[in-house]
Amino acid sequence: MFEDILVRHLEYSGYKVTRGMNFTDIEEKAIDEANKRKVDVQRLTQENIAEFIKEMNLLTMKVPEYLPKASESVGEAVQIIKQLVTAGIAYWHKGNVYFDPLKFPGFGKLFGLDMKKWPGQKRRFHKDTYPGIQWNLGDFILWHGEKKGESISWDTEIGRGRPAWNIQDPAMIRPYFHEPLTIYCGGIDNLYRHHDYTLSILESITNYPLAEFWLHCQHLFVKGQKMSKSKGNVYYTDTLLNQGYSAAEIRFFLIYGHYRTRLNYSRSAMIKAAAKLKSLKSIVSQINKININESCYDANIVQKVKGTFCRGMDSDLNVKEALDGLYNMLSGLDLSRLKANEASGIMAGLREIDGVVKIIF
C-alpha cells in the first residue's frame, strides 16, 4: 500500500513512473506448501497471485506495469550465475552454487554490516530463507542442484536444478535494469540479508549501482504481535469487509500513518480510523453542497489546500501529517461564510489530492 501511495504522489508531483513488482513463485515455502496440499506449485502460486491482484484492485491500488515471475526467469538466473562463477565471486560445492560475500567489496553496505565480525571459517547457508531478522554470516546459496525426490527443477546450461530465492530477484530485475533504478522498495525485514544479497549480485556484474534510493516499510502487526497462522491472528480484507468496513475505510487505515512506523491493527484502532474517514467525508460533502461551480473557483485556495497536503507528503511521505493537516484546515472553516468560488477551489484541490489517497470521493 505504501508503494501505491509513493507511485501516486510521484505522479501527482509531475513525474512519470514505471514500476515493477516481483513474484517469487518457486521458493522453498511455496514448494513445501504445494507438496503438503498435493497440488502443483505453480497452480498454488498462480491462485495466490490472482487473489493478490484482486485485492489490489479492491483497495484501489495501481497494478504495476511489470509483474515478472521467478519461474519465468530461470534462464536469466542461469546467465547471472555463469557470470559470477567466471568472475570467481560464486563457486560450485556439492552440486550447488554459492556466493562468497568476501569477494564483493562493500558487502552489507545497504544495512551497514560490520564486516570485521565476519567469521574466518568458511560457512555455507543452504536454505532459501531462514526464520527471524538476523544475518547469516557466510556464503549464501544461488542454485539448488537437483536432489533425489525433488518435485521442481529445470534442465539448464549448468545442469538440472532450480534457482535459489537469493538469485530470483536479480534474475527478474535484470531485463529492466539498464541503468540505476530510481527507487527500490521493500519491507523492513529485507534490510537483513535479502536486499544486500540482491545488490551484491547485480552490482557484481554491472558498473553502476542497483538503485539511487531505498525505501523500507515497517510491518503491520495485530494487537502488538506479528501476524501468524499459528497464533490465529491473521486478518484478510474479507475479514474486515464481513465486519462491515468499506474498502475505502480499510485503505484509509493502512495508509494513515508513516511507512517507516510500525502499524498496529486492533478493533479499536480500526473503529477510530473509520470514524475519522467518515468525519472527513462528511465535511467534504457539506462543502460540496455550497453552490459549486467547477469552472469558476478561487485559484489561491486550491494552492492552499494542495500546499497543506504536500507539506506532509513531501516530508518523507508522511501521509498522516498530510491528512491531519487537511482535516484540521477543513474542519476549521466556517462553512456558513464560505463563498461558492472558495468552495469550488477546495473541491478542485481535493479531487487532485484524492488521485493520491483514493479515499475521499
pLDDT tens per residue, range 344-360? 999 999 999 999 999 99
For 271, residues 6+ apart whose C-beta sits below 8 A from its C-beta are none
pLDDT tens per residue, range 68-88? 999 999 999 999 999 999 999
Question: Which residues in the chain are classed under CATH 3.40.50.620?
Answer: 2-217
Higher pLDDT, 279 or 177: 279
pTM for this predicted structure? 0.93
CATH topology of domain 2-217: Rossmann fold (3.40.50)
Average confidence score pLDDT of the chain: 93
pLDDT at 43: 85
pLDDT tens per residue, range 137-196? 999 999 999 988 777 899 999 999 999 999 999 999 999 889 999 999 999 999 999 999
Residue (of 304, 245, 313, 244) closest to 277 by Cα position: 245
Mean pLDDT comparison of 126-140, 218-232, 300-314, highest-scoring range? 300-314
pLDDT at 332: 94
Local structure of 302: helix, strand or coil: helix
The CATH number, out of the four listed (3.40.630.30, 1.10.730.10, 1.20.58.340, 3.30.300.180), of the domain defined by the range 222-357: 1.10.730.10
Whether 241 has a pLDDT exceeding 90, the answer reads yes
pLDDT at 205: 95
Question: Which residues in the chain are classed under CATH 1.10.730.10?
Answer: 222-357
- If pLDDT is split at 50, 70 and 90, which confidence band does 245 have? very high
| Rounded CA separation 235/228 (Å) | 9
- If pLDDT is split at 50, 70 and 90, which confidence band does 292 have? low
* Mean pLDDT, residues 222-250: 90
Residue (of 29, 35, 36) closest to 150 by Cα position: 35
pLDDT at 295: 64
pLDDT at 56: 97
Q: How far is CA 128 from CA 20, 144, 221, 226, in A?
A: 22, 9, 24, 21
In this structure, of 182-196, 251-265, 292-306, 333-347, the range with the lowest mean pLDDT score is 292-306
Q: H-type helices in the chain, by residue range?
A: 2-12, 28-37, 41-58, 74-86, 165-173, 194-204, 237-242, 247-255, 267-288, 299-313, 319-331, 340-357
Estimate to the nearest angstrom the gap between the alpha carbon of 139 and the chain centroid: 27
Number of CB atoms found within 10 A of residue 138's CB: 16
pLDDT at 293: 65
